[in-house]
Structure 1
């Protein structure tokens, strides 16, 4: 990811979220607050899972990785975004490609972590007697390794294709980060291969997880409806409801961003990107914690231990 390609542009200017001066300061504090909440929420959830042995289960193992992913890719995007609100935001070609790599890496990771979590819920609800075998620690570790490998392959595909482009149509990126669509608009060489790679990589990494999650939850709902006890149905739905909300927000924003008609406006692109790069990492710790009794118990025990330590 070095900047030694044959591009005549060695640095870019990120325009940011808005060019309206009266909105710059309020938005700076808004997104700074969101970033702080996201960092505290995800880091707190990770610490809670590590410190409490009763949370050392497959579901919370995946939740730990989800929090780690949210923590990382929020940090890849938000700090650079905040700079745009207070001064001209200049980013070098190498920094831009690095940001693009880690952004794609962590977003693809999140797609597959959410998929693994859906499969875990399917195994727990539909195959409870085989759950310990189906979701053994070895299987969970292999699934997480596969998650990060998919992220690496997808991110490398995007960055390698981006490095072959020559940027000579200006250096102003109408965005708050180095995303693929605004970068392609600055290229003065053919972007056909890049567009094909985007279609394939995004298509595969959205379609495969989406179908897997859909099938998992179709089977889960079918199984839940067969439970005679109203209390049992309620408990089963509550363990899945938070995951469905998180999946809907995340995948909905990605589909709108990358698989929409090219006629959509730049402002629409920015708004949809905010949902899965800034808002989703902040919401996930709360979505998975607010109605989760195990997390409440773990938090209470941790607080009591810290008070009497």
Structure 2
């Protein structure tokens, strides 16, 4: 980063520093900066608690708890010069803990924060103001699995960024902000840069995560469908084999069709199942088209007696 001098038409380098060099602390400084200016993270956030430890059966504390404009809880975890290797696990635990918080619990947590900060304001009034003055009853907070995570640090370890990118494929809403202090003479500066996902590519990354999740869901649906088909064929083969020997050497399969020979080459009995229908077929598929038509026409002559034996109408399809 450089400082521009318009008068001299020059630039002067602003030196990048570490928080350690400048004597800054995580809770005393970085946490307070964000608590007092949460829009440094690129959006309107309402801080509702600091050092929140209101979890059952644990004394762990999350750094900052916030709400976004959609009513989602946002867990903000701050580190200084090094993200550490366990920050993702830590933040995910907090997000899981927060997933059970009700609207009234969130309001109470916010009220405690206001009182602890020396404010006489009411949490309900502040929430109404933050959500653009809609009625409190209409405000929806922490609905479904919508918890978000924001990680803040000067440097992120590779194992952390790798985990974050992997988690995003599962539609976890997680962001990493690189916070960098600078100095120039007696002046100090700090920048907050969103590095995961990159701000300019955030919509693309989210759409790719949606596609990945769709692919995963599709795989699960296919696996389930295959299991259902296998079980269907297994159950169907029992009564069929009790009446005919044609399918005795046929095994259940994950495919949507099952076939056995009729004793005539190229003429097969086939069962087909889909999401919407199931059918039984006599399929005539000999190499010679003339022979296929001849067999079909001969069978068609006996249509009435075949359907009487079947006790219902059949579909007859003669492919030219």
State the structure with bigger RCO (CA 8 A, min sep 6), 1 or 2.
1
TM-score of the two chains, using structure 1 as the length reference: 0.21
TM-score after normalising by structure 2? 0.21
The structure richer in helix per residue is: 1
Structure exhibiting the larger radius of gyration computed from Cα positions: 2
Task: Name the structure with the higher strand share.
Answer: 2
